[in-house]
Chains A and B, each alone.
Chain A
């Protein structure tokens, strides 16, 4: 297939440098699983890091061993908006994840048992610090671009703040500078759904030989609900019934109920997502607030950033609505940063950032062309001999 990357084999970086987390806890060693696409050029100036969202992982493009496409395959690959003929693209599973990076399902070297709930809570900054280890390992002097949607966009912001000289372009998509009380409230309900499942066993469910599937499915149903828009659900399901008449029961009657249950069960059962990872990721989201240590002033927080920015929001996204992106744009403008902002018309709610959309793709392609122009310009003036 012309636009396909084919089958991708993930790699694992075993980091032996201890990582001190924001919480004060120290991880003596950890693994990061990652995939790469395309080729790193001689100067290492064409590398892009993709940061994943809540339930994402390192498999962002191409096919995995089971021939499943990556979660953002529509946008990453040969001749796609993030063109792997031009860029070297990297995506890792976040620390605390459950898809290969060290997290609650990994063995705790101190006890020889699975970490479970004893895995320390990690923050966005911890993720960025661990991803920086990956950058060093791959001999990448700087990322020509960092790209992330939703929780991924928050990592991009954190990168731009914490490692300004390592980021040339920051693409912050469908994100927010911090969660609102409503966002945190949704996360709390999701966590309570998991923790009140009788199979949760205070987080030690792996040792108990079970999984809190019901709680996890409920959490995912709630999450999914916040990713969609009312219009999209209306046009997709309306009030359509599964049978042609009302049953006057609590069974699944409306198609939308059936859809949500399917999504929840798929996540908890087929995808086998770890409940402790879900708790941890939602907590990291809640804690994210880079302005907090700058008198709650986002402009001050972003003052150190030297990257050029593309900020994108989607009209029907009510989880991180366009005004949340305006806050980011405003803070960047306060610093006279180079910034482009696009507000994409879509009925798909928060999920729109993952879906095909002509305007979105146009913006992406236009901006990535600028990034490409910077690839040669941003090559480090080290002792490189140029051919020809």
Chain B
């Protein structure tokens, strides 16, 4: 049994049992496998990487090879066909995160999303003091080879939600080791390294 990260544990806490879950960029399917075992969910995963697809398939998961940038979620799934659409650590790598959010909100009643916080104090400090793009445990890339093309801060994400009429239902922050602290809860945008959000369309 693989180690379930605190990030995944937090996500599992936000999920009701016996629900339908879609995991975008599901990787090797570790989260879905965990949710199936603990919450008895019906699960589908989508992932572009062939090797990760194979690993997910070996876990007995329903995994559909897909490029999130092709926005084919709505081609495959009808509106509202999932209770939850999850995307961990992938929002920042897609071409149009705003459109992907729309796709997710179309097929899922609630969406759970995690991403690295570019407003984390170490990021700010590296840029301020060194005048260079930050490199941290959470974002260990150079500016030129990073897959993270749309980095944002908590404030940026919440501003996008506000503009799109998206309601934040739950919010949590953790550090690179996926642990939480009082400071992170008090000043998430400064002290949180990884953001976890559960959001849904604002009811009219």
> Residues of A with Cβ closer than 8 Å to B?
326, 329-330, 333-334, 336, 338-345, 359, 362-363, 366-367, 369-370, 373
| Nearest CB on A from B18, distance (A) | 14
Residues of A with C-beta under 8 A to B78: 334
Residues of A with C-beta under 8 A to B54: 359, 362-363, 366
Cβ of B38 < 8 Å from any Cβ of A?
Answer: no
Whose C-beta in chain B lies nearest to the C-beta of A311?
B64
Instruction: Report the Cα distance A345→B49, complex, angstroms.
Output: 11
Cβ of B77 < 8 Å from any Cβ of A?
Answer: yes
Whether B76 contacts A333 by the Cβ 8 Å rule is yes
Residues of B with C-beta under 8 A to A334: 78
List 14 contacting pairs A-B, 8 Å CB cutoff, sorted by A. Answer: A329-B64, A330-B76, A340-B64, A341-B63, A341-B65, A342-B65, A344-B50, A345-B50, A359-B54, A363-B50, A366-B54, A370-B58, A370-B60, A373-B60
Cβ of B51 < 8 Å from any Cβ of A?
Answer: yes
Residues of B with C-beta under 8 A to A340: 53, 57, 61-64
Whose C-beta in chain B lies nearest to the C-beta of A342?
B65
What mask results when residues 31 to 57 of chain B are scored 1 for a CB within 8 Å of chain A, else 0? 000000000001010000011011101
Contact of B50 among A329, A330, A333, A342 (CB under 8 A): A342
Cβ of B72 < 8 Å from any Cβ of A?
Answer: yes
Instruction: Report the Cα distance A330→B53, complex, angstroms.
Output: 18
Number of residue pairs A-B, CB distance < 8 angstroms: 50
Cβ of B137 < 8 Å from any Cβ of A?
Answer: no
Residues of A with C-beta under 8 A to B42: 336
Interface of A is mostly: helix
Instruction: Report the Cα distance A359→B72, complex, angstroms.
Output: 22
Given contacts A330-B75, A330-B76, A342-B50, contact A370 B62 (CB under 8 A): no
Residues of A with C-beta under 8 A to B65: 341-343
Whether B51 contacts A333 by the Cβ 8 Å rule is no
Residues of B with C-beta under 8 A to A329: 64, 76
Chain B positions 80-95 with a Cβ under 8 Å from a chain A Cβ: none
Residues of B with C-beta under 8 A to A345: 50
Whether B58 contacts A339 by the Cβ 8 Å rule is no
Contact of A333 among B55, B57, B63, B77 (CB under 8 A): B77
Whether B50 contacts A359 by the Cβ 8 Å rule is yes
Residues of B with C-beta under 8 A to A338: 62
Given contacts A326-B72, A341-B64, contact A333 B58 (CB under 8 A): no
Instruction: Pick the 9 closest A-B CB pairs, nearest first.
Output: A366-B57, A341-B64, A362-B54, A359-B50, A366-B58, A366-B54, A343-B65, A342-B65, A338-B62
Instruction: Report the Cα distance A50→B72, complex, angstroms.
Output: 31
Given contacts A333-B44, A366-B58, A367-B57, contact A326 B75 (CB under 8 A): yes
Residues of B with C-beta under 8 A to A370: 57-58, 60
Instruction: Report the Cα distance A334→B72, complex, angstroms.
Output: 15
Whose C-beta in chain B lies nearest to the C-beta of A365?
B54
Instruction: Report the Cα distance A175→B42, complex, angstroms.
Output: 27
| Nearest CB on B from A150, distance (A) | 20
Whether B76 contacts A342 by the Cβ 8 Å rule is no
Whether B57 contacts A326 by the Cβ 8 Å rule is no
Whose C-beta in chain A lies nearest to the C-beta of B53?
A342
Residues of A with C-beta under 8 A to B53: 340, 342, 363
Residues of A with C-beta under 8 A to B57: 340, 363, 366-367, 370
Residues of A with C-beta under 8 A to B44: 333
Whether A339 contacts B64 by the Cβ 8 Å rule is yes
Instruction: Report the Cα distance A191→B72, complex, angstroms.
Output: 37
Whether A369 contacts B76 by the Cβ 8 Å rule is no
Whose C-beta in chain A lies nearest to the C-beta of B60?
A370
Whose C-beta in chain A lies nearest to the C-beta of B44?
A333
Residues of B with C-beta under 8 A to A343: 65
Residues of A with C-beta under 8 A to B66: 341
**Known A333-B76, A340-B53; 16 more pairs at CB < 8 Å:** A329-B64, A330-B76, A333-B44, A333-B77, A339-B64, A340-B62, A341-B64, A342-B53, A342-B65, A343-B65, A345-B50, A363-B53, A363-B54, A367-B57, A370-B58, A370-B60
| Nearest CB on A from B47, distance (A) | 10
| Nearest CB on B from A354, distance (A) | 19
| Nearest CB on B from A325, distance (A) | 10
Whether A362 contacts B62 by the Cβ 8 Å rule is no
Whether A369 contacts B58 by the Cβ 8 Å rule is yes
What mask results when residues 118 to 130 of chain B are scored 1 for a CB within 8 Å of chain A, else 0? 0000000000000
Residues of B with C-beta under 8 A to A359: 50, 54
Instruction: Report the Cα distance A295→B64, complex, angstroms.
Output: 27
Residues of B with C-beta under 8 A to A373: 60
Instruction: Report the Cα distance A336→B78, complex, angstroms.
Output: 11
Residues of A with C-beta under 8 A to B58: 366, 369-370
| Nearest CB on A from B167, distance (A) | 28
Instruction: Report the Cα distance A38→B54, complex, angstroms.
Output: 26
Residue among A333, A344, A369, A370 having the largest count of chain B Cβ atoms under 10 Å: A333
Instruction: Report the Cα distance A329→B73, complex, angstroms.
Output: 12
Instruction: Report the Cα distance A366→B51, complex, angstroms.
Output: 11
